[in-house]
A and B are shown apart, each in its own frame.
Chain A
Amino acid sequence: MGAKRPARREFLRTGAALAGGFTLGTAAPALGQAQTQSPMIKGEREGEIAYGARSKYVTSARIPHGGRPSPDTFGLTFHVASPLQDSVGVITPSSLHYFATTRGAFLPDIDPKTHTLMIHGLVDRPLTFTIDDLKRLPSVTRLHFIECAGNRASRRAKTVQETHGMTSNAEWTGVLLSTLLKECGLKSSATWFVAEGAEEVKGASSMPIAKAMDDCIVAYGMNGEAVRPQNGFPLRLMVPGFEGILHTKWLRRIKLVDRYYMNYNDFGHLDQDDKVAALAYQIGPKSVITFPSGDQRLPGKGFYEISGLAWSGGGAIKQVEVSIDGGKKWNKAEFRGTPQRMAHCRFAYPWNWDGNETEILSRCVDEIGQVQPTREQIAKYWNKPYDQTFSVPGLDNSIQPWKIAGDGSVTNGLA
């Protein structure tokens, strides 16, 4: 409450100033307009009245991830990373949401009128749902991130788009999978489920029933409109906090089974080591500073609001800390908005740069007490030598350092 008051006063003051401005403005418009006629977007340009577009001056764009072109020479799409360096707030616009395909793929062009979701296997009543059926059922709307298991920091990467761009955050609307499974009558022998997409490979993954009953969403909505084709139109299975590949796109079938079914994606998830295997679903606590970040340049010393994103597969982010001196001292960052479970949250830290070379980092803690580690800490835990060849087991959630040079240029601290 106490913290909110000044903000409200601030708003009132700004509001009053604005109102005053309008009052004053009424006396002066003729003068102002006569002097500067700014360019205008007139009438309808390329269907923008029907569906709005951003300013031609805003050019933030996705890029192919990991060096493989997308689309390739055959028109197949592969992994594409989101421009986190330009992001503000917590929602990734659907047009900039990262996407990946299990292998180079053409996107299916699905007519939602003919698409159905079939749920069968170990249930009392197998059921087929149309999109209209699903829209009649009780809905949920939740913010959730998705992150590709290949979202891995690298010495060679220059920008935060290259190091962390294979994650995005959207508002997803749909029906809880538990609602549908109750409607079908889950048999007690059902311990796993297989989710399958309608794309050309019919990509499929096995997942534990505990997750299905906890918080999975059969989503038809994304950021206030229909899910985009690159993200699974007309239906995507949201598996909050689990690796991206499990968020089955173009969802057409869910089969309830009594074991891990070893279909398509499954065998690739096997591992030799029990401990490494345990990291294969849920994503650990992770954060990254998006401003200032790699390849950006600070124009000079002075005030900057350091801004970044934090998320965890274990729940909501509880705390983010920022260091402006290479990790010697850690300072509590503020949240912009309330952190949601398994969703990106925006953090900020006020910084007066003195113009000297330094390194800035962020780290986070989630609601179940998991802490974002340094690469060195991870290597120590796994008893591996910490050198250039060290690769973080499971999804890489290590701390990302950004180096600030005396001339204000920002580079990857791992390089």
Chain B
Amino acid sequence: MGSRRVLPLALASLMSVSAVAQGPTYGIGRTPTADEIRARDISIGPTGEELPPGKGSAKEGAMAYRAKGCAGCHGATGIGGSAPILKSRDPSNPDVWARGRILPLRAPFATTVWDYINRGMPLNREGTLTPDEVYGLTAYLLFINGVIPEDQVLDQQNLAQVKMPLGDHYASLPDWKPRTQRLKGYPY
């Protein structure tokens, strides 16, 4: 009995030692500075931890929406342009999925809206919006879809707290494993 217990313990300690001691094998690549990482890291996750300081309301966002040319492609009110619509044509439908594939409705987190505008808009002038403008535009899109009131100011602290209409009403993400069928029991 005694020896049986010793062996796994010895193995476990060996394993933890090797895990701690796992260093670089090749020593190739350079360690980026914290500033370099911050400058390149534009991924805003659901917790909002990467958000920069700043703030904006729907009213400010409405001005930016016109001034930055958003209305030219997305329509004066988020409908009627050549680019994807930003406001549901069927806003009273209780089924959020039925309201259409619209960013401020389909996104499960307000951070997704912020991230999208910040990285991808406006077309051909991406990366030129200030954080305040992105907070304002996010607030505007959420306001015209009835998600937040017009006077709510969004900022670094409260953006991730916004309750989105989709909530958690979306399918589980696939639990992918190598060399297995994409859907268990699906023959095709």
Residues of A that sit less than 8 Å from B by CB: 106, 118, 120, 124-129, 133, 136-137, 180, 182-185, 194, 196, 200-202, 204, 208, 210-211, 214-215, 252-253, 255, 257, 259-264, 266-268, 270-282, 284-285, 313-315, 367-373, 377-378, 381, 394, 397
Q: A196-B43, A262-B46 are in contact. Are A202 and B126 (CB under 8 A)?
A: yes
Q: In this assembly, does B56 line the interface, its C-beta being within 8 Å of a C-beta of chain A?
A: no
The 7 A-B pairs with the shortest beta carbon distances in the complex, nearest first, are: A127-B29, A277-B171, A282-B182, A278-B183, A201-B120, A373-B188, A262-B112
B119 A215 Cβ-Cβ under 8 A? no
A126 B31 Cβ-Cβ under 8 A? yes
Interface stretch (choices B3-11, B20-28, B58-66, B135-143) = B20-28
- Which residues 133-188 of B have a CB within 8 angstroms of A? 169-184, 186-188
Among A264, A271, A367, A368, point to the contact of B170 (Cβ < 8 A): A271
What 19 additional pairs, Cβ within 8 angstroms, besides A202-B119, A259-B46? Answer: A118-B36, A118-B37, A127-B29, A129-B30, A183-B24, A185-B22, A210-B178, A214-B178, A264-B115, A264-B116, A275-B183, A275-B186, A279-B182, A281-B182, A313-B182, A367-B179, A370-B181, A373-B187, A378-B188
Please, which residues of chain B bring their CB within 8 A of the CB of A255?
Answer: 41, 43
Tally of contact residues, B, Cβ under 8 A:
54
A263 B173 Cβ-Cβ under 8 A? no
B187 A368 Cβ-Cβ under 8 A? no
Which residue of chain A is the closest to B177 with respect to CB atoms? A210
- Which residues 29-62 of B have a CB within 8 angstroms of A? 29-32, 36-37, 40-46
B183 A279 Cβ-Cβ under 8 A? yes
Please, which residues of chain B bring their CB within 8 A of the CB of A129?
Answer: 28-30
Min CB distance A112 to B, Å, is: 16
Complex Cα gap A262–B46 (Å):
7
Among A124, A137, A211, point to the contact of B26 (Cβ < 8 A): A137
Please, which residues of chain A bring their CB within 8 A of the CB of B107?
Answer: 262, 267
Q: In this assembly, does B86 line the interface, its C-beta being within 8 Å of a C-beta of chain A?
A: no
13 A-B contact pairs sorted by A residue (CB < 8 Å): A127-B29, A127-B31, A128-B32, A129-B29, A180-B29, A183-B28, A194-B43, A201-B126, A267-B106, A281-B182, A284-B182, A315-B179, A373-B188
